Structure 1
Amino acid sequence: MSYKVRSIQSHEWPQAKALRLAALQDPVAHLAFLESYESAVTQPDSFWQDRVTRAAEGAADAQQIIAEGPDGEWVGTLTVLMEEAGTEDWAGMPVERRQGHLVGVFVQPTHRGIGLTEVLFDAGLEWAWAQGAERVRLIVHEENGRAQRLYRKVGFEPTGVTVPLPQAPDDLELEFALERARLDR
């Protein structure tokens, strides 16, 4: 099987919307995403158009990368958000240096276990390094063992930073990161 991994184009918002809604119906979506299917499905087209435009090819602050199956179907995705030193992240925590933040990682269940997620990660990391990221991080729920195993497999390590979720203060998200300096050795 041959897959194509690439950045999305701004006119592809319907496909991006469909893939996101599929991701939000995954059995572990409640652990993997901060957004629910119920809230996402009610969003107007303008929401999806804006979201895709901000992360489409050529955007400097974000990039959504997708994997297309042999039939052209979108079967996987991840998004890299660039965070600037001296700002605060989505959780109100200080950002100490320019970094990429991986979000929205999803591969259709029928396409898992074949190395596709690793290829998506490679593309996302390549884009982040080209934007001058000193490190790339991601946040994962403490109970999402499947995702944690994958992130370790592709080189990310826990940093010890935890992020409480505003909507569920007893749940913790764990920060994993990959340092550029470690790769340059």
Structure 2
Amino acid sequence: MNEYVIRPVRAEEWDKVKELRIAALRDPAAPVAFLETLEQGEGKSDEFWQERAAGGAVGRGIRQFVAEGPDGVWAGTVSVLVEEAGTTDIFDGEIEQAQAHLVGVFVRPGQRGTGLTEKLFAAALEWAWELEEPALVRVRLFVHEENARAGAFYRRFGFVPSGKVVPMPTDPSAKELEYVFPRPA
């Protein structure tokens, strides 16, 4: 595997943020991996992508990490959303303690199984644990009940099922399973 640099996005890289998200939405696993369709992603304005990149580049609320190859091509991404205590999450549940929520996990098919996802997750968790007060108590993510490959990776990485199950917002007959990674002692 060529050496990849894992780093946060930069605000001016909105076109690469857009290209990688559209590639993710074209992936055959997209219907069980993302809460957005290809048509929705392609329908968003350049202004939306500019704001998304800028929002993922700085501040405490969100950080998007990418795996950049020596040729400048992005091979993967993960975003960290900070959910502050007292707010409501995307499933309308109240957040009791400050935590992070990993979303938008994607690695291009040719790079899967190479350790790149582990490196992206390591960077995401390192950033989450370094945040100043209030310190985050855990990192969580949700996985579709039929996305066995992703679930297996999350467990290998150290996430454990919390037992929380919620209906998928885009299809209430499908279930999303919560996995958590507690703050290291």
TM-score category (smaller protein): over 0.9
Structure 2, unmatched stretches of 5+, are none
| Structure 1 unaligned blocks of 5 or more | none
Partner-residue secondary structure (3-state), 1:19: helix
Please state how far the C-alpha of 1:86 moved relative to its aligned partner: 1.3
What's the offset of the Cα at 1:166?
A: 3.1
In the other structure, the counterpart of 1:48 is 49
Task: For residues 62-113 of structure 1, give each alpha carbon's deviation from its aligned partner in whole angstroms, at most 9, with x where no partner exists.
Answer: 0000001121100000000000111110110111110000000000000111
Q: Distance in 1 between matches of 2:138 and 2:61?
A: 15
Displacement, 1:160? 0.4
Mapped pair 1:142 → 2:140: no
**TM-score normalised by structure 1 residue count:** 0.96
Post-superposition CA distance 1:4-31 (Å, at most 9, x none): 0000000000000000000001111000
Q: Percent identity?
A: 50
1:167 aligns with 2:152: no
- State the secondary structure of the residue aligned to 1:43: coil
Query: What is the root-mean-square deviation in Å for CA atoms of aligned residues?
Result: 0.8
**1:104-152 alpha-carbon deviations (Å, 9 max, x no partner):** 0000000111110000000000111112211000010000000000000
User: How many residues in Structure 1 have an aligned counterpart in Structure 2?
Assistant: 181
Query: Which contiguous aligned blocks of 4+ residues in structure 1 show a shift greater than 2 angstroms?
Result: none
Q: Which whole-Å CA distance do the structure 1 matches of 2:119 and 2:37 have between them?
A: 26
2:35–2:169 contact (8 Å) kept in structure 1: no
**Counterpart in 2 of 1:68?**
68
Provide the C-alpha distance between the structure 2 equivalents of 1:70 and 1:112, rounded to a whole number of angstroms.
17
Is 1:178 paired with 2:177?
A: no
CA-CA distance at 1:165 after TM superposition: 2.0
Aligned to 2:5: 4
Q: TM-score, normalised by structure 2?
A: 0.96
